[in-house]
Amino acid sequence: MVKFPFRHLVAIAVAAAMPLAAIPAAASISQVAPEANLESSVSGLIVSYRDGVSPVSDDGQPTGENAAGVDLLNTEALGMGFYAVQFESELTTPDAQKIAARMQQDPRISSVELDTKIVAASSTPRVLSALRAASAPRSPIAKDAFSPLAPTNARVNLTWAAPASTYGAKIVGYRIERSVNGSSWSIAVSNTARTSRTHTVTAGNTSGVNYYWRVRAITKLGSFVRVGLASAAVRGRATTVAQPPQLITPDLVSLASADAANGVTVTWSSQSIYQKGGLRTSYRATATAGGAVVAECVTYSNTCTILGLAPEIEHEIKVAATNSRGTSFSGVTLTPRDSEYGKQWYLSATNGINAAKAWSMTSGSRSVVVAVLDSGITNHPDLDGNVVAGYDFVECDTNTGSCAITNDGDGPDPDPTDPGDYLNSERSSWHGTHVAGLIAARANDIGIIGVAPQVRIQPVRVLGAGGSGNSSSLVKALNWAAGNAVSGVPANATPAKVINLSVASPDPGPCPTSLATILPAIKAKGITVVTAAGNTAGNAANYWPGNCYPTINVGSVGPTGEKAGYSNYGSQFSNGVDIAAPGGDSQNPAGSPSGTNGRVLSLINNGTTVSTDFGYSYQEGTSMAAPLVSGVVALMYSAKYNITPDQIWNILQTTAKPHVANTQCSAGLCGIGVVNASLAVAAAAALP
């Protein structure tokens, strides 16, 4: 099967097979950032057979081998009548096209296509920081730093003594590191930029978590900067006021005369220790009529019964959560308290997607699953609890038996963890983790928040070393994510309602026969597929899977609302782009928060090659735009679970924000408009 390098659609692209009748020679992808040349060798075909024809002949060889004129290896079922047929050794694209053309003449064969390249392209370079040595700071102490001026901000203050020796260098600041277990460390403050031996950490802390803390001195001598040895680890936690309770029962109640004696039972979502601010919390449910509290009940649980309500009178129900830091009330819409939310311009800025207003209606349903077909994901606290079982479809080299291309040492298996897509000197991108975070990063007071923080992610790995994989793997992954049977793979216990494909073909070509067959069947099951338009600055109608029907193909705009320079485009004639979303644009960052440079912030791993500790990074590309639309679609399913893909697209069209005037987008290159989460979710919820 032909290997396809996947590059993160941080300026992204995915490649699939093309119909045999006019299979062009493979071309390398054009990206925002230059990438290594893609391989043009082909290792196999994707074949479908006419009704009643067995894919395997009596001698165990694939049907059609004689027509091919070469030795073929046994077929592999991909699902829905498609099979991967492998050459005994890799061939050039022209030679593979000739074989496919001969096979197409065999009356037993319905369709043939190359098993071709698929890529995900990252346009955001990452710079490695140097690590040097100086002696360790001494006597660290960590304490709760609660402030009544910022009652919802989890703060920890650290103090320490200077290191015994700086080896002639000057201290220019200190690095503060944090760990939940004392073994895996992340950077809480990269450089205090002061010689002061005290600092309050105000970002990234979760209330009630008793973190480990340590400090390193940063020294400078001439032009050399050195990060010193770590201090001893100490424990310290932050506390805050409790989060507002979320009512489950109605907030307006009017009891019939016959029911008044039983009162009204009030229930709210049970709160975790961090939602309680890290402290023991009591709850008071009140019933108000005419502006006055007429009855109440108090509990440490998440339910109680209010007695003594007069019948036939409407009462407003509220719940207050109180701990030693203060009181919060239900029914109050707050700005998310995730520490980096202010940098997520793409959610709520003028040219963002209006996510915050949508959250007043729903932040997602646990029954809605979004499959992310990508490089897999890594452990990250912003995804904890929001991931269901996935699968790894990245295959070993069928010609040599080597599993080097998988980077995890084996072939398909139930572990979709991203082992890193590093290749030679190219570092790992953690692309799948970045995409997943944009969809469903938790609202947990740390890092970022996803568009749909209560839905769940299903990681499905189709990209290996260098962002490489097989298009046949993509076919199997789509079938499995949709709940279709795939030979040799356990059934998917949690099929997706939304499938995100932040990948695009590196070379122009029509939608492959396999995808053109599978995607309508997936839609018929009530599943919506969202694709990235690609980052070659070309016509999106020429790149798949976004040019396949039925998908929602997403182009990218920057903070100004203008088309991102790298984004593939549509036209009034080809309609190659259906809708747009912010994907970032570092070349036109005006209006974006300081430090973002117009790019999109999400989750990564800090490992250069293999996984280490969790982190965050800015990237740009249609790979970032597509998951924002997937997140909005997930919110729509959460508001109306049985909504159909056609209803979803009709609503997205009618509620989209108009493009900014006098831009390339207003000229028709970026689809119908920019996705509008607030209006789309409201329209979905209003469906009968």
* Nearest 10 degrees: Cα torsion 384, 387, 388, 392: -120
Candidates 374, 382, 421, 578; catalytic one:
374
Which residue, among 659, 458, 464, has the nearest Cα to 564 in the 3D structure? 659
Name the token pair of 480: 């499995």
| β-pair partners for 156 | 144, 201
**pLDDT, position 128:** 32
Q: 419: left (phi > 0), else alpha (psi -120 to 50), else beta?
A: alpha
Residues 6 or more apart in contact with residue 59 via CB below 8 angstroms: none
SS3 call for 450: coil
Domain spanning 138-231: CATH 1.10.645.10? no
Q: How far apart are CA 462 and CA 298, in angstroms?
A: 52
Beta strands in 275-361 (DSSP E): 282-289, 292-299, 303-306, 314-323, 326-329
- Number of neighbours of residue 647 by Cβ within 10 angstroms: 16
Whether residue 431 lies in the annotated active site: yes
Residues 6 or more apart in contact with residue 115 via CB below 8 angstroms: 1, 2, 17, 42, 43, 44, 45, 46, 84, 470, 471, 472
CA angle 129, 134, 139 (to 5 degrees): 115
**pLDDT, position 180:** 93
Q: What average pLDDT values come out for the chain (688 residues) when binned by 10 residues?
A: 35 28 26 34 84 64 58 71 81 87 85 80 40 84 91 93 92 95 91 95 90 95 84 96 86 86 92 92 91 91 95 88 89 71 94 89 86 95 94 78 70 88 84 97 93 95 81 94 96 97 88 95 98 95 94 97 96 82 96 94 93 93 98 93 95 94 92 94 84
Candidates 315, 431, 434, 659; catalytic one:
431
Sequence spans of domains, the chain: 3-114, 138-231, 252-329, 341-685
For tokens 């070659």, name the residue.
536
**pLDDT, position 1:** 31
Candidates 339, 623, 630, 638; catalytic one:
623
Whether residue 445 lies in the annotated active site: no
Q: Are 279 and 208 in contact (CB under 8 A)?
A: yes
Q: How far apart are CA 456 and CA 282, in angstroms?
A: 30
Which residue, among 327, 325, 243, has the nearest Cα to 284 in the 3D structure? 327
Whether residue 179 lies in the annotated active site: no
**pLDDT, position 148:** 85
Residues 6 or more apart in contact with residue 355 via CB below 8 angstroms: 347, 348, 451, 631, 632, 677, 678
Residues 6 or more apart in contact with residue 265 via CB below 8 angstroms: 249, 303, 304, 305, 306
Q: Indicate the pTM of the whole model.
A: 0.64
For the 341-685 domain, the top CATH level (class) is alpha beta
**pLDDT, position 30:** 24
